[in-house]
Amino acid sequence: MSNTATDTLTPVLTANWGAERSWTLESYEQHGGYQALKKALGMAPDDIISAVKDSGLRGRGGAGFPTGMKWSFIPQDNPKPKYLVVNADESEPGTCKDIPLMMASPHTLVEGVIISSFAIRANKAFIYIRGEVLHVIRRVQAAVAEAYAAGHLGRDIHGSGFDLDIVVHAGAGAYICGEETALLEGLEGRRGQPRLRPPFPAVAGLYASPTVINNVESIASVPSIIANGAEWFSSMGTEKSKGYGIFSLSGHVTSPGQYEAPLGITLRQLIDVAGGMRPGPDGQPARLKFWTPGGSSTPLLTEEHLDLPLDFESMGEAGTMLGTRALQLFDETTCVVRAVLRWTEFYKHESCGKCTPCREGTWWLVQTLAALERGEGSESDLDLLLDQCENILGRSFCALGDGATSPISSSIKFFRDEYLAHLTHGGCPFDPAASTAWAATTAGAKA
């Protein structure tokens, strides 16, 4: 790694991940933890909201809605209790930032929850963690217990008169519960399906009360904003995409992992930091074939997009989304049809069933794609696939259906010929073993 490459990184959330027993309260406090809380408790709640607004922090869960604005939507004159709900149901294929964060430094999240709850005047906060990651659930539970013991939680926190309880809730294993209203349904003990909006959660969310739902990384960013000031935060990033974020690199890259950098960094820089693409058959770094900027639900991009700034605006202009910054990198050993089929199978499996386009559409998409991968069907099936995607995109109840169409329509846009090659080849022209992580570097395309 060159110095110039690592200089581009801005470890804030990840700064203490390498510390000894970084997940303990002791280690966290040694690294300055809970100082922001002390500061926050001396502030007026509205000033915290203003600070978060001024920082330009945008939701880190994918949609990028300004966090401070979301908080200010909470009607403070509503007599019902206010709730903070942390969306820790990280399930998007390729996304791997919240889970490592909660694993390595759960107190960053807990501190963020306390400050955020104080700001929106919530006395109860929920952390909804996807149920499959039991080790993470236990770690966050332990951190919450430590925080109670240290007086950071409970009644009259540090003499401020502010009460807060945190409930760590384990999800039951459904991608849809990452959708905020489905998450609320699940939290209430009901079937995880998205709710009709309006009313929006800010007005009638959990138990029909005003509710803020934020991603783990958004909430975890709050202590640093309070500690260092809004200006410090907004000095990083681009004009409309402020601050830093965790970029998760996975796939055919030498050192996959989480890299924290200002928004607006390019993939080329990140690959550089991560030691380049993995070696190809010739021993040279493999060539990037396609990649997702923010998980499988964001339309994929190719090598030509390597130098685009990874921020909300540039990704939007490129016809995709920044999403969760889940950068999945695929080199030329990968069959795009195969990759897209796997993703589509995921969406079919995870479609909640509530609305027709997503439920039935994913059922059909998988069949058509699977046939193409086997070399069956005809060229007209590509147009059919695109038409199916058109009939799902923007017609579904929530964004799950939209996401399901992204890999298909974007891959056909960039790799139509590769689809057709399956038909002429009578099946997949690639050696599936060559694309695996354990593939011998000499393995390559059959054709």
Rounded Cα gap, residues 295 and 93, in angstroms? 6
Stretch that binds other proteins, among 48-56, 98-106, 248-256, 391-399 (CB under 8 A): 391-399
Q: Helices 216-228 and 106-120: crossing angle, nearest 10°?
A: 80
Stretch that binds other proteins, among 208-216, 265-273, 364-372, 413-421 (CB under 8 A): 364-372
Contacts 24+ apart (CB under 8 A), 70-73: 70/202, 70/212, 70/214, 71/116, 71/119, 71/120, 71/212, 73/200, 73/202, 73/203
446 binds other proteins (CB under 8 A): no
Strands 165-170 and 124-129: parallel
Q: Which of 17, 148, 232, 364 binds other proteins (CB under 8 A)?
A: 364
360 binds other proteins (CB under 8 A): yes
3-state SS assignment for residue 279:
strand
350 binds other proteins (CB under 8 A): yes
Q: Considering the complex, state which of residue 263 and residue 400 has its C-beta at the smaller distance from other proteins.
A: 400
Instruction: Quote the distance between the C-alpha of residue 46 and its chain's center.
Output: 28
3-state SS assignment for residue 414:
helix
Binding mask of the shown chain, residues 118 to 157, with x at each position contacting other proteins by CB under 8 A? ----------------------------------------
Q: Considering the complex, state which of residue 272 and residue 402 has its C-beta at the smaller distance from other proteins.
A: 402
Name the DSSP letter for residue 164.
B
Q: Considering the complex, state which of residue 103 and residue 386 has its C-beta at the smaller distance from other proteins.
A: 386
374 binds other proteins (CB under 8 A): yes
Per-residue burial over 333-369, b = 16 or more CB atoms within 10 Å of its CB, e = otherwise = bbbbbbbbbebbebbbebbbebbebbbebbeebbebb
394 binds other proteins (CB under 8 A): yes
Structure tokens at 424: 């002429």
Q: How far is the CB of 142 from other proteins (least distance, A)?
A: 32
Q: Which of 318, 370, 386, 420 binds other proteins (CB under 8 A)?
A: 370
Q: Which of 71, 247, 330, 397 binds other proteins (CB under 8 A)?
A: 397
Structure tokens at 6: 């690592």
Stretch that binds other proteins, among 64-72, 137-145, 300-308, 380-388 (CB under 8 A): 380-388
Stretch that binds other proteins, among 3-11, 96-104, 246-254, 372-380 (CB under 8 A): 372-380
324 neighbors 99 (Cβ within 8 angstroms)? no
In 215-331, alpha helices (H): 216-228, 230-234, 267-273, 312-317
Q: In this structure, what are the phi and psi dihedrals at residue 382, rounded to the nearest 5 degrees?
A: -65, -45
Strands 326-331 and 301-302: unpaired
How many residues form the binding site for other proteins (CB under 8 A)? 41
Q: Which of 19, 154, 359, 386 binds other proteins (CB under 8 A)?
A: 359
16 neighbors 27 (Cβ within 8 angstroms)? yes
Name the DSSP letter for residue 66.
B
Q: How far is the CB of 354 from other proteins (least distance, A)?
A: 5
Binding mask of the shown chain, residues 182 to 221, with x at each position contacting other proteins by CB under 8 A? ---------x-x--x-------------------------
Q: How far is the CB of 121 from other proteins (least distance, A)?
A: 27
Q: Which residues contact 441 (CB under 8 A, 6 or more apart)?
A: 278, 279, 280, 281, 283
- 154, β-bridge pairs: 164
Name the DSSP letter for residue 254.
S
199 neighbors 210 (Cβ within 8 angstroms)? no
Q: How far is the CB of 174 from other proteins (least distance, A)?
A: 7
Q: Which residues contact 4 (CB under 8 A, 6 or more apart)?
A: none
368 binds other proteins (CB under 8 A): yes
Q: Which of 167, 284, 390, 432 binds other proteins (CB under 8 A)?
A: 390
Stretch that binds other proteins, among 35-43, 95-103, 384-392, 434-442 (CB under 8 A): 384-392
Q: Which of 54, 272, 313, 376 binds other proteins (CB under 8 A)?
A: 376
Interactions with other proteins, residue window 304-323 (CB under 8 A): none
Q: How far is the CB of 351 from other proteins (least distance, A)?
A: 4
Stretch that binds other proteins, among 2-10, 22-30, 84-92, 350-358 (CB under 8 A): 350-358
Interactions with other proteins, residue window 230-269 (CB under 8 A): none
Q: Considering the complex, state which of residue 58 and residue 354 has its C-beta at the smaller distance from other proteins.
A: 354
Residues binding other proteins (CB under 8 A):
174, 176, 191, 193, 196, 348-357, 359-364, 367-372, 374, 376-377, 381, 384, 387-388, 390-392, 394-397
